[in-house]
Amino acid sequence: MNTVVKPPRVQIPVRQYFGLLEEYLKPQRASVILMAVCLLFSVGLQLLNPQIVRFFMDTAQKGGAQSELVKASAVFIGASFFQQVLNVAATYFSTRVGWTATNALRANLAEHCLKLDLSFHKARTPGELIERVDGDVSTLAAFFSNLSIHLGGNVLLLLGVLVVMTLEDWRIGASLSVFSILAMLVLARVRNLGTPYWKAVREQNATFFGFIGEQLSGTEDIRSSGATQYVMRSFFERLKTWYPVVWRSNMLGGSMWVVFEILMAFGTALAFGVAAPLYQNKVISLGTVYLIYQYTRLLAEPLDQIRNQLQELQRADAGISRVTELLATSSKLIDGQGANWSERALEVEFRGVHFGYEDDVKPDPSEQPEHLEKVLENISFKLEAGKVLGLLGRTGSGKTTLARLLMRFYDPQHGEIRLNGIPLTSAKLDQVRSRVTLVTQNVELFQASIRENLSFFDPSVSDTRIWAALEELGLHDWVRRLPRQLDAELSSANLSAGEAQLLAFTRVFLRNPSVIILDEASSRLDPATEALLERAVTKLLTGRTAIIIAHRLQTILRSDKILILEDGKMLEYGSTKILGNDPNSRFAQLRRTGLEEVLA
């Protein structure tokens, strides 16, 4: 039997509410004002209509003129119609405000996630981040539209009813005021009980969709290995843990409706209980009795709306908590002041670099992480500008990690990496990644045109430059054969591995970097395509610094220097020619034995 663990209670600081409202509603000041005006006039008309009915009843009871009754009826119909128009307008503006605000928040969250370092993304699945950026924000749509203005409008209507009732008779006003205060306290208490469960629901959603995204991306491996039953068993286990959390949150949400109905029944009985003796003693008229009844019923509307909005606030509490938590997450990579790299080719230097990936268990932020998966230890070398380094090592020796550090996807725990004598940490991240380019065997293609894939959606890259780069790689004939050429829609589904790899090289041509890292870039290519790649690499490396990670001897032999890693340590470093001629060197042994066999 599944047990439900009560989530910790969430306390959302008031400043987070007002901070979000100010940031995302301020640009929509005009729409917010119009929405507020519509709601204000709507509140006024709701308070006016019962007065018109009372006038009609009292006039009819006293035998007043028919023309007065007709006028009262006409005013009532006109006011009711205008009130509906105002409600429609307020709904339109509130929906517009809500969608505009949430779309802006989604964009900010997506941009923020893209700026976070790889350790953040490594610890989270894509499905979890999608739920954060979209699912959590969706719960805030009502917060930005209804809760920001409608809640205030309903509170204003509630106060208006109580003021009017107090003016009619202080006893009735006092009774309903006490009732309203107690009702709000009860509803607020019930709302607080549900908030932690709604946050738990959001977290369960993120975990579930992260699991789904992970399994769908590995469909081929799951089928080929016969793991379908295991995946489905895991699927149902997650559903079983998801259900009790959703059930409990819905039960607590539904309890607000039950509490509200009980409160309104008590409020109606209270109103009649106070009005009946006053009418019997002829203190108030029949029209005033109706007025008290109608205002009591009218009192139910703002209380009901406030109840609904407080229930939405339960969801908003969880969404705000998770959204602000994500926005408060900062990258471990601190942007530098900027560097002046005027040369085309740059010198690369590693000085005593130590690096290890942190465990999934996050240490206390005030303490240095003690549990690291050591990957690189005391890496020191200097690669002169315009030279090519061949980087060798077994799988897991740290080759790709070295490339990631040079791209500044991570910072080393100890040591320093320099370009032309300037520490990477002193440069801006955009500068580093515009001057250093990494090409891997796994090419990411987008559901977009060839032009957009090659230019990374930069409209300033002209077609002339794109065609020139394609011609350099021998891809121009292939692209020209496509029905729409550069406008052809592209995805990994309609490209071979070799074509995708060549398109990745075209991107490099267009970026014109100073340092190029080729991480196993030719391992997926057939001989014919690799011949095209080798020709392109020769042109690409001219006048640039490069690090080539490869198993194939032909690619490594173009290197000026060789660096061999083993278990994250430097096993051998030196000139390709000198090491190749030294029969005792590790590199010479690899040449004799065969790179593919030894380094696999």
Pick 381 or 9 by higher pLDDT: 381
Angle, in degrees to the nearest 10, between helices 286-328 and 170-217: 30
Confidence tier at 527 by pLDDT (50, 70, 90): low
Looking up residue 118, the CATH number of its domain turns out to be 1.20.1560.10
Average pLDDT over residues 228-247: 75
Confidence tier at 561 by pLDDT (50, 70, 90): very high
146-170 pLDDT, tens digit each? 665 666 677 777 788 788 878 877 8
Instruction: State whether 308 and 392 are in the same domain.
Output: no
Instruction: State whether 294 and 438 are in the same domain.
Output: no
Range of the domain at 140: 14-328
**Residues listed for the chain:** 600
Domain C-terminal end among 303, 328, 353:
328
Instruction: State whether 299 and 186 are in the same domain.
Output: yes
Helix H, strand E, coil C: the string for 389-434 is EEEEECCCCCHHHHHHHHCCCCCCCEEEEEECCEEHHHCCHHHHHH
Per-residue pLDDT, 363: 40
Q: Are strands 561-566 and 388-393 parallel, antiparallel or unpaired?
A: parallel
Instruction: State whether 317 and 213 are in the same domain.
Output: yes
With beta carbons less than 8 A apart as the criterion, state whether 57 and 69 touch.
no
Is residue 424 included in any domain, yes or no?
no
Is residue 359 included in any domain, yes or no?
no
Order of strands, sheet of 414-419, starting from the edge strand that comes earlier in the sequence: 372-383, 348-358, 414-419, 422-423
Is residue 116 included in any domain, yes or no?
yes
* Residue among 88, 99, 101, 100 at smallest CA distance from 34: 88
Residue 110 has pLDDT above 90, yes or no: no
Q: How far apart are CA 250 and CA 175, in angstroms?
A: 33
Is residue 480 included in any domain, yes or no?
no
Q: How far apart are CA 267 and CA 173, in angstroms?
A: 12
Average pLDDT over residues 519-534: 64
Helix H, strand E, coil C: the string for 123-168 is CCCHHHHHHHHHHHHHCCHHHHHHHHHHHHHHHHHHHHHHHHHHHH
Residue 350 has pLDDT above 90, yes or no: yes
Q: How far apart are CA 493 and CA 479, in angstroms?
A: 16
Residue 6 has pLDDT above 50, yes or no: no
Query: Which DSSP letter does residue 386 get?
Result: T
Is residue 469 included in any domain, yes or no?
no
Is residue 414 included in any domain, yes or no?
no
Is residue 416 included in any domain, yes or no?
no
Looking at the structure of the chain, the number of domains it has is 2
Average pLDDT over residues 287-300: 74
570-596 pLDDT, tens digit each? 888 999 889 888 888 888 887 777 655
Domain C-terminal end among 328, 348, 370:
328
Instruction: State whether 309 and 215 are in the same domain.
Output: yes
Structure token digits, residue 329: 């997450």
Per-residue pLDDT, 10: 45
Is residue 222 included in any domain, yes or no?
yes
